[in-house]
């Protein structure tokens, strides 16, 4: 039993931002140990350390929140550029069976068709932009492939077919 108690005294629990683990207790030499402070001073020092740790954690979280807000704003701006602007007219009322509502519903259908056409045009623009990006990437890849091919074709082995055959025949005789 005494050895188990001794082992527990050699270890201490540490909490590092929610990650809890055990480590060997650090031993302090009595010669290098600071002089004993009064309990009030120790409490003030402990509060200061806690305050500094919390401020550091707050700053860390604030930086992370700022990064997320920036990414969210960037995404929102991208969405706003690709979506058509909503019309300022109020939404059409539900269609009724009366004859008076027929012209109103006809105009609401026209508005709906116009909105759908605008949406299709925006999608066409996006697809055209993507197609242009793909063409650019394909041209880049082709240029890189040609550059690599040229580096292989410029090797001295490929000077002429006769030199190549002579080189291959010399290698096979060895």
**How many residues are listed for the chain in this entry?**
174
Look up the domain containing 144 and give its range: 123-174
Q: Which residues pair with 22 in a beta bridge?
A: 13
Specify the number of domains making up the chain. Answer: 1
- Long-range (24+ apart) CB contacts under 8 A made by 104-111 are 111/87
11 Cβ partners below 8 Å, 6+ apart? Answer: 22, 23, 24, 25
Residue 112 lies in a domain: no
> What is the model's pTM?
0.31
Q: Are 8 and 16 in contact (CB under 8 A)?
A: no
Q: What is the DSSP letter of 109?
A: H
**pLDDT tens-digit profile of 94-152?**
554 444 555 567 788 888 999 999 999 988 888 888 888 888 888 888 888 888 888 77
Residue 61 lies in a domain: no
């Amino acid at each position: 039993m005494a050895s188990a108690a001794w082992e527990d005294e050699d270890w201490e629990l540490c909490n590092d931002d929610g990650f809890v683990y055990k480590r060997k207790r650090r031993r302090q030499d009595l010669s290098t140990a600071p002089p004993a402070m009064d309990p009030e001073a120790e409490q003030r020092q402990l509060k200061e350390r806690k305050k500094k740790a919390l401020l550091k954690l707050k700053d860390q979280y604030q930086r992370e929140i700022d990064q997320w807000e920036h990414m969210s704003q960037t995404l929102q701006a991208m969405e706003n550029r690709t979506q058509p602007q909503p019309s300022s007219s109020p939404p059409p009322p539900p269609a009724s069976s009366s004859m008076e509502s027929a012209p109103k519903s006809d105009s609401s259908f026209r508005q709906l068709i116009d909105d759908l056409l605008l949406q299709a045009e925006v999608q066409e623009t996006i697809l055209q932009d993507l197609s242009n990006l793909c063409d650019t990437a394909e041209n880049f890849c082709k240029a890189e492939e040609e550059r690599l091919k040229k580096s292989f074709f410029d090797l001295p082995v490929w000077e002429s077919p006769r030199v190549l055959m002579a080189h291959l025949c010399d290698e096979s005789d060895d």
